[in-house]
Amino acid sequence: MEENRISEEIFTAERRKYEKTREELERSRAKNRGKNLIIAVLLATTIFGAYQYNTAMKLRQQLNNAYNKAFYELVDYIKNVEVMLLKARMTSSPEMTAVVLSDVWRESFCAASNLTQLPISMGVLSNTEKFLTQVADLSKSMVKQVTYGKNINEEQMKTLENLHKLSVNLEKGLLEMQQDLNNGNLKWENVAKEGQEEMKEVSEDMPKTFGNINEQFEEMPTLIYDGPYSEHMQNRKALGLTGDKVTENQAIEKLQKFLGDGKVKAITKLADNNNGIIDTYNFKMELANKDKDGVAEADVSVKGGHVVWYLYNREVGEKTIDVKKAMELGRKFLADHGYPNMKESYYMQNDGIATINYAYTEDGITYYPDLIKVKVALDNGEIVGFEANGYLMNHTERDYGPPKLTEDEAREKVIRGEKIKSSGLAVIPTNYGTEILCYEFTGKVDDKDFLVYINANTGAEEDVLIIINSEDGILTM
Amino acid sequence: MSNINFKKLLIMILTVIAVSLSAVFSQISFGAGQVSDVQLLARAINGEARGEPYEGQVAVGAVILNRVKNPSFPNTIAGVIYQPGAFTAVSDGQINVPIDPKSTVVKAAQDALNGWDPTYGCIYYWNPATATSKWIWSRKVVVKIGKHNFAK
């Protein structure tokens, strides 16, 4: 009995001991488990980090390669521009001049495209970009001139010589940069860092070469020629802006009249727009009978108080009128607001709104430069947009006199003459701010409508347009 | 005691991994597909000016189109938008933010392409509250629309 009791005591003690050890063991195991987990997670993070670093390095390399490609191509193109500009002055036949100048056109266009892919701050190379774009544009207009039978004159030769000198300097600057790039003094990633932020001030760290290259073009001659990038296109005058200066209150009155009686709940002037071409008052209107989204905006010119543009953005409901009706409504709106002789030409439909182009007509001549666009909502016929910039820039008294060619003579110039459906006199704009009096012929080839413009005085074919006819509208290309 | 710290540590590490993973995938998931002019312009407006009034959205679209017509800038819409450093929204990926179906940016892009230009030929704009460049302040402000100053 006694023995039993003792052995039981020993047993219990042993058991306690054992349990204690077990507990300790488990605790230390749990501790270990925790440690292992931390190690595993840290390992995973490290691997992940290494992978990310690797990917980032690869991407950086790819980006560097792309920048290098753009740069080396730029250098090649500039070399070609330089050589071709020199060659252009040595050609004897108009055919060869045209061939060489079209090379200048292509090479300088490609150079400009590559230049703008480099990670350089805004404005640092803008003169260089301008130089290349204008050289491309100018040579294109010269190619056109030569193919129309008018050879390069002395003054143009002088221009080519000046441009060649500039291209030689540009090439020199770029070759210096190429050297920096080759021996590791120039790294795109450093340049890119400087050029990242929008409008950032030109940093001290930006390689001086960029600035030096650009400076050479400060003395670039002003280039005026028949092309969209010609200098004169940036400083045009508004010919159609008639009338005297109006005050802000007079402008508000004009705007109220324009939008119709009782349509406006409140008008606030937001800003004065001093753009130098058409100075305006900028207004915000709260429209009557509209929910909270009933806010429209418009500009009224200081000179003459013309509404230059109007925009009312709203949800458009179910369509209840067709485009034909919309054209009528737009025409009536224009006639009621001082533009009586407007004829619709092209239109587009988006989100229940028809945007319709109207051109001024007089004595059977359509004046396409005098353009007004009207947006008509197709749910209720409301005018939700108006834009008269084309009209206000171009509309003026013209005196072309009687055309030298008769319509029949002009028709003979159209090769596909037998396909012509309709014709008329029209004044068309060039992309360099001038106008040409033409006979406009509409025809059809392979189910595609087209327009041909024959100069009414010289008989030259001035333009060919294809009419794109779709459910969403009629456009030209 | 050590258990609690360990849990905290674990949560922290997992969070770091999750955040960096999501950052990686959000960058991959927006492919650069072929987009038409309207959509590309709309995305640029969305990235640059989605919080602006409608006129301000049209104005930003117009500035991009005015640059296309200016000899000192690239000659295509894509060239102007993706010119390195030209737009913050392109540098920081905001241009890839999907367009809210209720947003007006597509309409604004359409109006800009149709010729509405509240800036009358401006080629620069900036937010005077955040712009850091001294150079940009040397430009004469043509018009202020919403938060932006516009200049030639």
Nearest C-alpha neighbor of B126 from the set A122, A198, A192: A198
- Return d(Cα B115, Cα B39) in angstroms, integer: 16
Q: A377 in helix, strand or coil?
A: strand
Handedness of CA A69, A71, A72, A77 (dihedral sign): positive
Q: What pLDDT is recorded for position B120?
A: 92
What pLDDT, on the 0 to 100 scale, is given for residue B10?
A: 62
pLDDT tens-digit profile of A158-177? 999 999 999 998 898 888 88
d(CA A173, CA A209): 7
Query: What amino acid occupies position A410?
Result: A
Confidence tier at B26 by pLDDT (50, 70, 90): very low
**Chain segment B98-110, per-residue pLDDT in tens:** 999 889 999 999 9
Length of chain A: 477
Q: Which pLDDT tens digit goes with each residue over A83-95?
A: 999 999 999 899 9
Cβ pair A363, A339 in contact under 8 A: no
Band of residue A113 on the pLDDT scale cut at 50, 70, 90: very high
Mean pLDDT of B92-101: 90
Give phi and psi for B33, each to the nearest 5: -80, 180
* A122 contact B CB<8A: yes
Query: For A147-156, A178-187, A332-341, which range has the lowest pLDDT when averaged over its residues?
Result: A178-187
CA-based radius of gyration for chain B? 20
pLDDT score recorded for residue A149: 86
* A7-11, A443-447, B34-38, B104-108: the lowest-pLDDT one: B34-38
B26 contacts chain A (CB < 8 A): no
Pairing state of beta strands A420-429 and A365-377? Answer: parallel
The nearest alpha carbon in chain B to A228 belongs to B69
Size of interface A-B (CB pairs under 8 A): 162
Mean pLDDT value of segment B78-106 = 90
Instruction: Judge contact between A141 and A226, C-beta under 8 A.
Output: yes
Cα(A382)–Cα(A437) distance, rounded to whole angstroms? 35
* Structure confidence at residue A201 (pLDDT): 44
- Per the prediction, chain B carries an average pLDDT of 80
CA distance B38 to A39: 52
Q: How confident is the model at residue A477 (pLDDT cuts 50, 70, 90)?
A: confident
pLDDT tens digits, A284-300:
998 887 666 678 999 99
Residue A232 pLDDT more than 80?
no
- SS3 sequence of A220-265: CCCCCCCCCCCHHHHCCCCCCCCCCECCHHHHHHHHHHHHCCCCEE
Alpha carbon distances (Å) from A109 to A68, A130, A137, A267, A276: 18, 11, 8, 47, 30
Contact check, Cβ <8 Å, B145/A270 = yes
Q: How far is A49 from chain B (nearest CA, A)?
A: 9
Minimal-distance CA residue of chain B relative to A375? B111
B123-138 residue pLDDT tens:
999 988 887 666 666 7
Per-residue pLDDT tens digits for A180-204: 888 887 788 777 665 444 434 444 4
Q: Give ∠ CA A427-A431-A432 in degrees, rounded to 5.
A: 100
Q: Which residue of chain A has the CA closest to B71?
A: A130
Q: Is the pLDDT of residue B1 over 50?
A: no
Residues within 8 A of B (CB atoms), A 61-100 only: none
Mean pLDDT (whole number) for B48-67:
94
Indicate yes or no: CB of B10 within 8 angstroms of CB of A200.
no
What chain A residue is nearest to B7 in terms of C-alpha separation? A34
Q: List, as one string, the DSSP characters of A1-41.
A: -HHHHHHHHHHHHHHHHHHHHHHHHHHHHHHHHHHHHHHHH
User: Taking CA atoms, what residue in A is nearest to B109?
Assistant: A350
pLDDT digits (tens, 9 = 90+) for A9-30: 888 888 888 888 888 888 888 8
Q: What is the pLDDT of residue B25?
A: 40
Distances (CA, A) of B42 to A355, B38, B84, B97: 18, 6, 19, 11
- Residue B30 confidence (pLDDT) above 60: no
d(CA A46, CA A136): 53
Cβ–Cβ of A275/B152 closer than 8 Å? Answer: yes
Contact B121 A275 (CB under 8 A): yes
Which residues 263-292 of chain A have a CB within 8 Å of chain B?
A: 270-278, 280, 282
By C-alpha distance, which of A138, A240, A233, A134 is closest to A432? A233
pLDDT recorded at residue B23: 43
Give the closest-approach CA distance of A162 to chain B in angstroms: 18
Residue A236 sits at the chain B interface (C-beta within 8 Å): no
For position B17, what pLDDT does the model report?
Answer: 56
Q: What is residue A200's predicted lDDT score, i.e. its pLDDT?
A: 43
* Of A123 and A136, more confident: A136
Residue A208 binned pLDDT confidence (cut-offs 50, 70, 90) = low
Contacts (Cβ under 8 Å, ≥6 apart) of B72: A126, A127, A129, A130, A133, B123
State yes or no: pLDDT of A234 exceeds 80: no
Q: What is the ipTM of this complex?
A: 0.81
Q: Is the pLDDT of residue B4 over 60?
A: no
Instruction: Note whether A449 and A470 are within 8 A (CB).
Output: no
Does A331 or A212 have the greater pLDDT score? Answer: A331
CB contact under 8 A, B75 and A270: no
Average pLDDT, stretch A24-38? 86
| Contact between A195 and B85 using a beta-carbon 8 Å cutoff | yes
Query: How confident is the model at residue B16, as a pLDDT?
Result: 56
Q: pLDDT above 70 covers what percent of chain B?
A: 73
Give the pLDDT mean for B16-23: 51
Q: Looking at the predicted structure, is the pLDDT value of residue A6 above 90? A: no
* Mean confidence (pLDDT) of chain A: 87
User: What pLDDT band is residue B35 in, cutting at 50, 70 and 90?
Assistant: very low
Asked whether the predicted pLDDT for residue A337 surpasses 50, the reply is yes
Q: Which chain A residues have a beta carbon less than 8 Å from that of B16?
A: 45
Cα A207 to Cα A114, A117, A282, B87, distances in angstroms: 19, 17, 43, 22
Interface of B with A in 31-50 (CB under 8 A): none
Q: Pull the structure tokens for residue B71.
A: 């000899």
Q: Which of B15, B70, B72 to mutate to test the interface with A (most CBs of A within 10 A)?
A: B72
pLDDT of res. A181: 84
Q: A112-116, A331-335, A371-375, A420-424 — which is least confidently predicted?
A: A420-424
B7 touches chain A (CB under 8 A): no
Which of A37, A275, A356 would you mutate first to test chain B, the one with the most B CBs within 10 A? A275
Is the CB of residue B147 less than 8 Å away from at least one CB of chain A?
no
Chain B environment of A195 (Cβ under 8 Å):
84-85
Q: How many CB atoms lie within 10 A of CB A353?
A: 23
| B11 in contact with chain A, both atoms CB, cutoff 8 A | no
